[in-house]
Amino acid sequence: MAQPTTSSQTPPSQNPPLAPEHALSKKQRRTSLVAVVSGNFLEWFDWTVYAIFTTYIAANFFDSGDSTSAVLMTLGVFAGGFFARPIGGLVFGRIGDRLGRKTALVLAMVMMGLGSAIIAVMPTYESIGVWASVGLFAARLIQGMAHGGESGNAYTYLAEIAPKDKRGLWGSSIMVTVTLGVMAATALGALLTSVLAEDAMNSWGWRIAFGIGALLAIFALFVRRQAEESQFFEDAKADEDTSAARQISRKHLAIIALRIVLLTSLTMVLYYTWMSFFSAYAISSKGMAEQGAYLASLGAQVVAIIVLPLWGALSDRIGRKRQMQLWALAVMVIVFPVSWILTDEPWTLFLAQSIALVVWAMQASIHSTVMAEQAPTEARSTSVGVWSSVGAALTGGTAPYLNTWLTGMGLEWVFSAYIIVLAIVTLITLRFTPETAGLTVDEIPLPGEKSPPVTR
């Protein structure tokens, strides 16, 4: 096993300078930025479209009286939501670390578009029987793998092409486009259901959304082909067989994996609770009118979009570690009050969710940057792709179900206490996490190494 390089052997500050910031022109940086965020927007647009049109999809692809079809439905949800994403993170992460970030991002976009196209044209259960369920399962497997592969490589690529003094600001564009993708899919769903009759929606209207997703994938693919490869990746590949290459041990990778999982957990719980679940909770538990709840939630999401880049830019000034420590403390302070504010009036949802999302955005704005900064260039795409997906699945994927179950038992406070526990875990993890702002991604020390002097 390769042994770790300690600071006494090769201090990080004395490593050969990799990927100087003048390696890419401003135009090349902008093109590369658009390439990442356009694909990220599409990724979340497609993911949300499936959730919005679930009832129409179930009616067209499954037979509730057919046990085989019912099993396939369960497997499809499992594969798309939990199984396929970490697998995609591993497969596309290896591609990104071996063949290049750009190559992995292009292939992920091809798969995402392919999955949408399959769903858009797939014959119904009435036409081809259980093969319709099989086809949908395959399409969701493809999309799930693309989703996992996209995130790890997008986080990595954006962190590597961003100027070191603006990495937090650039990273905030990831979560901005996540939110925009969700909002666009929601708006499209509202538009289609308002202009088309129920029969038309059930027959073919829902397919329009997946067709749009497939067409958008073609545009995103074209943009990504114009992007430049990461200079950090190219320099690392050139150095991998020389004495300039850093020695990365399994212990390093294990610590990095644990760090990524722990730093992912709280932000994913808050995303699914405060961004996705808040309006549903207001409707089901407080009796809020659906239209008012959706409009209030939409307004709060706009607030989040506004503050995300502001928080990202602030992290470049005060440091990622300090901002995340303040974020974890703020979460502990507001987690109970935001639920106390909520009544059956939509304005209370707007107020409570806006407060919650402003706090959530403190970390969400820099989440992709922080994830990429934890791993070395040689293993960055794989580490981020796999372990951020695992962290999201362990806590984020279970959050809505746990919250609903506890609420149904009258134990809402237990879920809030659970969030506080995760915030404490985050603070403990940050105690052993180095500051990264002001350093290039290859100056960031491996676990056990000392940080070089920070210049901002």
Token pair of 401 as six digits: 């179900």
d(CA 382, CA 113): 22
Contact 91, 234 (CB under 8 A): no
Indicate the pLDDT class of residue 69, thresholds 50, 70 and 90: low
Q: How far apart are CA 355 and CA 344, in angstroms?
A: 17
* Per-residue pLDDT, 64: 63
* Domains defined along the chain, listed by start: 26-228 (1.20.1250.20), 249-443 (1.20.1250.20)
| Chain-centroid distance, C-alpha 277 | 17
Label residue 75 by pLDDT band (50, 70, 90): low
Furthest C-alpha separation in the chain: 71
In sign, the C-alpha dihedral spanning 311, 19, 237, 15 is negative
Distance in angstroms (rounded) separating the CA atoms of residues 183 and 48: 9
pLDDT digits (tens, 9 = 90+) for 181-229: 988 988 888 888 888 888 898 889 999 999 999 998 998 888 888 888 8
What does the alpha-carbon distance between residue 220 and residue 54 come to, in Å, rounded to a whole number?
Answer: 25
* pLDDT tens by residue, 335-347: 999 989 989 899 9
| pLDDT at position 323 over 80 | yes
pLDDT tens string 260-293: 999 999 998 998 888 877 887 888 788 888 778 8
- Please state, as a whole number, how many other Cβ atoms lie within 10 Å of the Cβ of residue 9: 11
Categorize the per-residue pLDDT at 12 as very low, low, confident or very high, splitting at 50, 70 and 90: very low
User: Confidence band (pLDDT; 50, 70, 90) for 10?
Assistant: very low
Q: How would residue 259 be classed by pLDDT, with cut points 50, 70 and 90?
A: very high
Backbone angles phi, psi at 174, to 5 degrees: -60, -55
pLDDT-derived band of residue 308, with 50, 70 and 90 as boundaries?
Answer: very high
What is the separation of C-alpha 404 from the centre of its chain, rounded to a whole number of angstroms?
23
Backbone φ/ψ region at 100: left (φ over 0), alpha (ψ -120 to 50), beta: left
The SS3 of residue 454 is coil
Which single residue is written with the structure tokens 């067709």?
211
Higher pLDDT, 359 or 388: 359
Residue 16 has what pLDDT?
Answer: 44
Q: Is residue 5's pLDDT more than 70?
A: no
Rounded to the nearest integer, the mean pLDDT of the chain is: 84
DSSP assignment of 113-128 = HHHHHHHHHPPPHHHH
pLDDT digits (tens, 9 = 90+) for 162-180: 988 999 999 999 999 999 9
CA distance 41 to 43: 5
**61/381: higher pLDDT:** 381
The mean pLDDT value for 256-261 works out to 93
pLDDT at residue number 230: 83
DSSP string, 250-317: HHHHHHHHHHHHHHHHHHHHHIIIIIISHHHHHHHHH---HHHHHHHHHHHHHHHHHHHHHHHHHHHH
CB neighbour list of residue 160: distance below 8 Å, 6 or more residues apart: 19, 101, 230, 231, 232, 233, 372, 377, 380, 441
Asked whether residue 79 carries a pLDDT value surpassing 70, the answer given is: no
* Phi, psi for residue 398 in degrees, rounded to 5: -95, -10
Q: Which burial class, exposed, middle or buried, applies to 194 when counting CB atoms under 10 A from its CB (0-12, 13-18, 19+)?
A: exposed
Tell me the per-residue pLDDT of 404-436, one tens digit each, with 9 for 90 and over: 788 778 888 899 999 999 999 999 999 999 898
Dump strand ranges (E) for 171-281.
none
Where residue 244 falls among pLDDT bands split at 50, 70, 90?
Answer: very low
Q: Is the pLDDT of residue 450 over 80?
A: no
